[in-house]
Amino acid sequence: MTAGNSAGGPLRPVTLLIAALGGEGGGVLTDWIVRAAMAEGFPVQSTSIPGVAQRTGATTYYIEILPVKTADLAGRTPVLALYPAPGNIDVMVASELLEAGRAMELGFVSPERTTLIASTHRIYSIAEKSAMADGIYDGARVRKAAPELAKRPVLFDFQALARNTGSVINAVLLGAIAGLDQLPISAAALEQAIRDTGIAVESNLAGFSAGAACVRGEAAAPAAPAEPERSWARRRLSVKELLGIVESAFPPEAHAVLQEGIRRLADYQGPRYARLYLERLGDVLAADREAGAAGSGFALTRETARHLALWMSYEDVIRVAELKSRRARFDRVRTEVAAKPDEPVQITEFLKPGVEEVAALLPPGLGRRLLAWADRKGLRDRLHLPLRIRSDTVLGFLRLWLLAHMKWWRRFSHRFAEEQALIERWRAALTAMAREDYELALEIAACAKLLKGYGETHRRGRGNFLRIFEARIAPALAGAREAGAAETLRQAREAALADPEGAALNALMPEPGTASGAGVEARAAAE
C-alpha cells in the first residue's frame, strides 16, 4: 500500500478498525497484527475500545501502522492516533453482518478509501431478541449498502469457513486481510505471529490459509455445510437429539426458529411429530441451497420453519383441553384473582364445540360425511353443543384430562389428514418455486399466515388460502408465471388479512361463480 498522497505529501499510517463480538478473539487478532508489524520493523500502535454489555456494541480494536520501517525514519518518531475517525479508515473488519452495518452507519466506511471485510453470518443483538414482534434487522440492507459505501467490499460467510476448516473466525479474518494485501506486512510475518503465540497453531493456520485463498479467488467462497445424510429421519429420537441435529444439519441463521419449532411440536404431539417437522424442512433447505440463497440468510428455510411450526400445531379441542388442564394454568388463574393459599377458587370452562370441531376428531371418511350432511341441512353454523365444565372439581378436571390425553388419536382424525395434505401441497409449491423465483417462493411461504384458529375463523382463512392458491400460485406452478407475480401474491394475501368480511380480497379477486372467477372455480373443481 502506498503511503502519502500523489503529490509526495507527508506519510500517513495505514489504519485498521476491527469490530468483534465477545469470545471471537478480536484481541488475539489485533495481537497477531501488531506482533507481525513489530517483527518486520514497522511502527505500530493499537487501542481497544470495549463494547457496552452483551451485543449493544462490539469491542472495537484500532490499529495504525506506518508503512515505513523504523530504521528508515532517520531517528524520527511518528505520532500515531489512539482512536479511529470517520472517513479515515483503510481497512474495516467486522466479524458479523450487523457490525458491518453499524460501522457504515457511523461513517467508518468510505467509498474513497475503505476496504470492508465482513462476515455475512448473524448473531442476533439484544434489541432484536427482545422486540415485541419480529425485530430481526434486515441483513439484505447491509449487503446492498456495502458496494455503495465501501471502496472494496469483501463479504463472505467467514464463520462457515472457520467451521468447515475446524478453525475460529479471527484466524480466517486474518487470512482475509493478508489475502487482500491491504497492509504493509507480509503474509509470512502474519503466519509467524500465529506460530509465536503457540496456541491452536495448526487449526489457526488452516483458517488463515482458507481465508486468504477465499478472498484471492483461489478457493470457492465459503458455503453452508453440505446437506447431511438424513438417516436420523428413520429412527426414534429424543427432543434433545433433534435439537442437536438442528445444530449440525441446518445453517446457524435458522437455529433459533427451528429449535423453538421442535419444542412446540414435541409438546403438541410428541418427538415423532417434531421429527416430521425436520424432515419437511430438510427438503426446503435443499431448495434454498440450490437457489444460492446463503447470502440471504436462508430466508426461505427460516420463514417456512416459522409458519410450518404454527400450522402443524393447529388448534383443536384436544389442544384446548390440554392447555386448560395444565397446573400452570390453574396457578395463573389463582394469581390473577389474588386468591390466598387457603382460599378455594372455582373455575368454570365455557366450551361450545360445533359440527366442525366434532368432525375434526372423527376418522376422515366419517368426518367428511358429517360435514356434508351439516352443509345440506344448513346446520354447520347453527348446530353447537354448549358445555359448562367445572375444572376445579374432580369430575370436571377428569373430563378435560381425558380429552387432553387423546393426542394419540389426533393422527387418525379427519382434521389431521386434511391439514397434512394441505401442508404438503403448500410445501411442494414453495420448494419447486424456489429454484425459479425465490421472491415468489417466499410469498408462497407467507400465505400460511392465512390459516389460524378454529371454527369460523379457520374456515374463512382456509377458504381464502385455497382461493389465492388456485388463482395465483397454481398458474405460476403450471408455467404461467407473470412479471411481478410475487408482488401480486403479496397484495392478495394482505387483502385477505385486511378485514374479516373479505371485501378487500373480493376487490382483487372476484368470488368463484362470477364471470371473472369462473377460471378459479373450474380449477378448484378439477382439484
Nearest to 17 by CA among 66, 69, 85: 85
Write out pLDDT tens, residues 113-155. 999 999 988 877 766 665 444 567 778 888 889 999 999 999 9
Give the pTM: 0.54
- What is the chain's Cα-based Rg? 30
Q: Residues of the chain with pLDDT > 70: what percent?
A: 87
- Going from the C-alpha of 325 to that of each of 234, 260, 328, 384, 405, the distances in angstroms are 33, 23, 9, 22, 10
Task: With beta carbons less than 8 A apart as the criterion, state whether 14 and 64 touch.
Answer: yes
Q: What are the backbone dihedrals phi and psi of residue 305, each rounded to the nearest 5 degrees, phi first?
A: -60, -40
Q: Name the DSSP letter for residue 337.
A: T
User: Distance between CA 438 and CA 461 in Å, rounded?
Assistant: 25
pLDDT of residue 256: 93
Q: Specify the residue for cell string 475500545.
A: 49
Statement: residue 89 has pLDDT above 80? yes
Give the list of residues 6+ apart from residue 428 with CB closer than 8 angstroms, or none.
Answer: none
Segment 47-55 mean pLDDT = 64
Read off the C-alpha cell for 223: 458455503
- Structure confidence by residue, pLDDT tens digits, 448-473: 999 887 777 788 888 899 999 998 89
Cell of 424: 404438503
C-alpha 314/C-alpha 453 separation (Å) is 7
Is 241 a residue whose pLDDT tops 70?
yes
Question: What is the spatial distance between Cα 323 and Cα 302, in angstroms, rounded to a whole number?
Answer: 27
Alpha-carbon dihedral sign for residues 121, 125, 128, 129: positive
Tell me the average pLDDT of the chain: 84
% of residues, the chain, pLDDT over 90: 43
CA nearest to 29, candidates 76, 77, 62? 62
**Mean local confidence (pLDDT), 49-61:** 64
Measured CA to CA, the distance from residue 475 to residue 52 in angstroms comes to: 52
Residue 207 has pLDDT above 50, yes or no: yes
Conformation bin of residue 50: beta by default, left when phi > 0, alpha when psi is -120 to 50: beta
- What pLDDT sits at residue 408? 92
Question: What is the rounded distance in angstroms from the CA atom of residue 186 to the CA atom of residue 175?
Answer: 11
User: Which DSSP state fits 471?
Assistant: I
C-alpha to C-alpha distance for 290 and 125, rounded to whole angstroms: 29
Q: Are 416 and 363 in contact (CB under 8 A)?
A: no
CB atoms closer than 10 angstroms to residue 100:
30
Torsion 458-450-485-299 (CA) sign: negative
Place of cell 391439514: 419
Amino acid at 273: Y
Backbone region of residue 330 per phi and psi (left: phi > 0; alpha: psi in -120 to 50; beta: other values) = alpha
Band (54; pLDDT cuts 50, 70, 90):
very low
Q: How many other C-beta atoms lie within 10 A of the C-beta of residue 53?
A: 9
pLDDT tens digits for range 415-456: 999 999 999 999 999 998 987 899 999 999 999 999 887 777
Q: Give residue 524's pLDDT.
A: 41
Strands 91-94 and 115-119: parallel
Taking CA atoms, 332 is separated from 95, 134, 263, 328, 373, in Å, by 44, 27, 22, 6, 41
